Amino acid sequence: MADIGWFIRTYSSCKSTFKETSFDSDNNHYLCKDESQEVIDFDKILEEKYPDSNVRPKSFDTIFVYDNFVFCIEFKNQKPAQINNQDICEKLTDGKAELDTLLQALHIQVNDYDLIYCVAYKKCIEPRDRYKCGIKKGKVLFGLEQYKGQNLIKEIFTDTVDFFTKEFKKQFKKDLVC
């Protein structure tokens, strides 16, 4: 069996940065400015696999691999109340199904890796936006909690880009400039 490094090498043409994969083309805005960490632009992989956007499955923006952890990250330049729950859930389920297919085609054992889904969204400005956010710290949002128990994904995090940045530094001892 191959390892996740084979996936990264196979899709080396889709290597990118957090900055590029966090770009919101509708608003011409980057949610994360970091260019120091190498990631895989998962949207680009699926754009190449499915050139017709009408048949392309939904997917998360990027993949960051650290040891046997595979972080599937979706950046949303929106406040939580503005984010469509069904869209976020479909990005997880469709994206995970496509990732599983790609890994299996390369003879990579999916169960050897812990997949973690992260949704990093725009920061709410307290107290002005408190009523729009209505968020309890550490709570999984967007109806995603149902997928943790289905053996689909190991862990799910939904929080601001600032939280994502702090956790990145805490977990990997590396600065992330977002």
* Ranges under pLDDT 50 in the chain: none
Q: What is the pLDDT of residue 59?
A: 95
Q: Peptide bond preceding 127: is omega within 30 degrees of 0, i.e. cis?
A: yes
Q: What is the pLDDT of residue 1?
A: 63
Cα–Cα dist 56/22, whole Å:
20
Query: Which candidate, 155, 41, 138, places its Cα nearest to that of 95?
Result: 41
**In degrees rounded to 5, what are phi and psi of residue 148?**
-65, -40
Read off the pTM: 0.88
Tally the residues of the chain. 178
